[in-house]
Chain A
């Protein structure tokens, strides 16, 4: 072979081999398969009622027919958006219930929309969403994918919500229910002991029956503390290297940041916020006007009142009578694991990233 040709071949072969790994890159550069900006959420999908609002829009085309069913006290079925079977209930009786659960008798494969009060027997599984225009009373040991209630929702013992549930009225959950995903109410929520939850939101969330809340007279409102929130928010910060203890009854008019453990003694009042980079223990009857933040575990004692957000990066225990937020100042309580005792009260959002439990009063 001519040496010049051989050299040329060698150069071309080398160049080809060098270019080979770049072929996918050049292909992507030319064809732009993935050249769109990353999707940034411009609207707030994290809003607790996001799915409930979406479902309400989804079933909007059914509303007129549902009202007709109610007026005629009849049941109707059909297909929504081409592939979603639905059942409209203008009256709830044995016939409509039989139609709902089919031959199998325990599983409803259809989207159910009821224009009247919906009282369901126990042991049922709903594979699709439920809309209740009236009150909703779910039987024991039932499983729901999602529920949207225009009035009250009441889930009886050992029921499960798999995705989300929202009640425009109050939301009552009996013992040993599991609430996965987002559960919310526009009025108030009551969860009995043994319930598991992830994300709850309501103007008022009560753990345990109202009888065991702080004053024991059965009223949610009467359990709410009378200690008036103050607008005072000190900007000054005290930074402590290591552990720190706020003495019982001490009044603190600054923000406290501890690089170690933080113990807040019984009856102390903090007009600012408190942060611990390790364990935080809040004694009984403490009032904190700002937020409580712990980089580790947090224990909130009985009858404490925390106005601002309460955040723990690990576990949080909230004892009976403690209240987070206030009726006019809703707030967020968040931790991977939350144990809320019966009798604890929350105003706003209660968010257990991994698992929240309602535990009996100690």
Chain B
């Protein structure tokens, strides 16, 4: 038991060091934005996919925004992927098609497998451009965003691009405010540090792009995956393609406004991540492929993030058991120093990361909410652990994984 606890402590320490390393890199290290300067070029043809499943509340916002972007019109086609919607999504899309002839080429999907990945997979048959950008329907791209997301594809090593997601409905309630902080930490610090350190920035499946030839090389979208974006990141990596992160390519999104929706969302992410870990984890670390050593290590740590939730709970239970059994694993003073050191530094690694993100974003007051993140942390750790248990049960019973769309909260226009 004590050795299992030691193992868990070592894992937690590794993640703690990782958090600090990323944060310090963002605060003091060299920042890589190699493609952001490309403002003049012979821009390639691009197709913008808008994944939409019952999106009547938001679809008109993104289509309006996309009609105003700064990109050569003759090289830019928007393809709303209307995936079996039963609301007014189709009607709204068709009204835009009429209002902007030749600029919107809709794909109304009326059958087939459910889920975003399956819809994108079907849409691929209709795409001829080398560069594909992907947005979820609740996003609102700014006019410069398209060029910024296309620019990295001038690098022939780049297979995928990810931009920064910024919550729009921040002030709604406690949850949205906590999610705003979490997103800031995740993108402003975590993703950019991985970009700086040439590790594995993660493709998020929205505010993102992919190179058609790279996608074809790796076999297209995996419609069996709950998180097709994570799956894509790792298959690109194994095939020697880079996914790059563009921190200054920002786009507004809507975050969940109720805890139930949030829990559902994070459970899906956890299951998807774990699915990718189970599928590619060993191959990533030990297999013969084109990822570098540092990409292998970071890629595995990134995939292990959601496994750490149940591992941490097990660690807590083991620590209690060890305490009540009276096991004295280390000399008293060393144990005391270790616990004190971890309590002083380790516990706050993730919070330090988020505080650093708030500073980098020059947002002053919202950082005061940091202590309340403990609430979000506790909810997440339980939800993710539930997801892991449910996934294990699914595996044992042979049940199929089910894709759940995240509910929208915006009032329709």
Contacts and interface: CB of A to CB of B under 8 A. Distances in A.
B265 to A, nearest CB: 19
A106 B106 CA distance: 64
B223 interface: no
B39 interface: yes
A201 interface: yes
A353 B174 CA distance: 40
Interface in A215-271: 233, 235-237, 239, 241, 255-257
B156 A274 contact: yes
Interface residues of B, number: 47
Nearest to A238: B156
Interface stretch (B1-9, B54-62, B359-367): B359-367
Contacts of B184: 38
Contacts of A233: 44, 130
B399 interface: no
A51 to B, nearest CB: 15
A332 B156 contact: no
A313 B32 contact: yes
A318 to B, nearest CB: 16
Given A35-B177, A239-B290, A334-B38, A291 B154 contact: yes
A201 B369 CA distance: 44
A41 B372 contact: no
Interface stretch (A92-100, A111-119, A137-145, A303-311): A303-311
B369 A25 contact: yes
Contact of A257 (B32, B142, B156, B251): B156
Given A47-B39, A235-B213, A38 B166 contact: yes
A77 to B, nearest CB: 38
A295 B30 CA distance: 13
A353 B37 contact: yes
A32 B184 CA distance: 18
B372 A331 contact: no
B304 interface: no
B157 interface: yes
A327 to B, nearest CB: 12
Contact of A235 (B130, B369, B370): B130
Given A29-B177, A34-B365, A290-B156, A330 B40 contact: yes
A273 B366 contact: no
Contacts of B37: 311, 332, 334, 349, 351, 353
Given A46-B39, A48-B39, A33 B365 contact: yes
Contact of B157 (A36, A257, A325): A257
A299 B70 CA distance: 32
Given A237-B213, A307-B42, A37 B166 contact: yes
A67 to B, nearest CB: 33
Interface string B218-244: 000000000000000000000010000
Contact of A28 (B143, B155, B167, B369): B369
Contacts of B366: 28, 34-35
A9 interface: no
Contacts of B180: 37-38
Interface string B159-189: 0000000111111001001001000100000
Contact of A201 (B40, B130, B151, B371): B40
B324 to A, nearest CB: 24
Nearest to A48: B39
B143 A29 contact: no
Given A41-B250, A43-B142, A239-B290, A25 B370 contact: yes
B34 interface: yes
Interface residues of A, number: 56
A274 B212 CA distance: 18
A282 interface: no
A340 B398 CA distance: 64
Tell me which of B41, B144, B169, B177 has the highest count of chain A C-beta atoms within 10 A of its own C-beta. B41
B41 A43 contact: no
A343 interface: no
Nearest to B173: A29
B252 interface: yes
B146 to A, nearest CB: 10
A21 interface: yes
B174 A29 contact: yes
Nearest to B168: A37
A27 interface: yes
B217 to A, nearest CB: 8
Given A34-B366, A37-B167, A332-B38, A256 B156 contact: yes
B38 A44 contact: no
Contacts of B331: none
A272 B251 CA distance: 31
A38 B361 contact: yes
A331 B44 CA distance: 12
B290 A309 contact: no
A348 interface: yes
16 contacts: A24-B368, A25-B369, A29-B174, A35-B177, A37-B170, A38-B166, A42-B142, A201-B39, A236-B213, A255-B156, A291-B156, A307-B42, A309-B154, A311-B38, A329-B42, A351-B37
Given A38-B170, A40-B142, A308-B154, 17 more contacts: A36-B171, A37-B169, A40-B251, A40-B252, A44-B144, A237-B157, A237-B213, A309-B154, A311-B38, A311-B154, A325-B40, A330-B40, A330-B42, A332-B37, A332-B39, A348-B40, A349-B39
Interface of B: 32, 34-35, 37-42, 44, 70, 130, 142-144, 151, 154-157, 166-171, 174, 177, 180, 184, 212-213, 240, 250-252, 290, 361, 363-366, 368-372
- Top-4 shortest CB links A-B: A34-B365, A35-B171, A255-B156, A44-B144
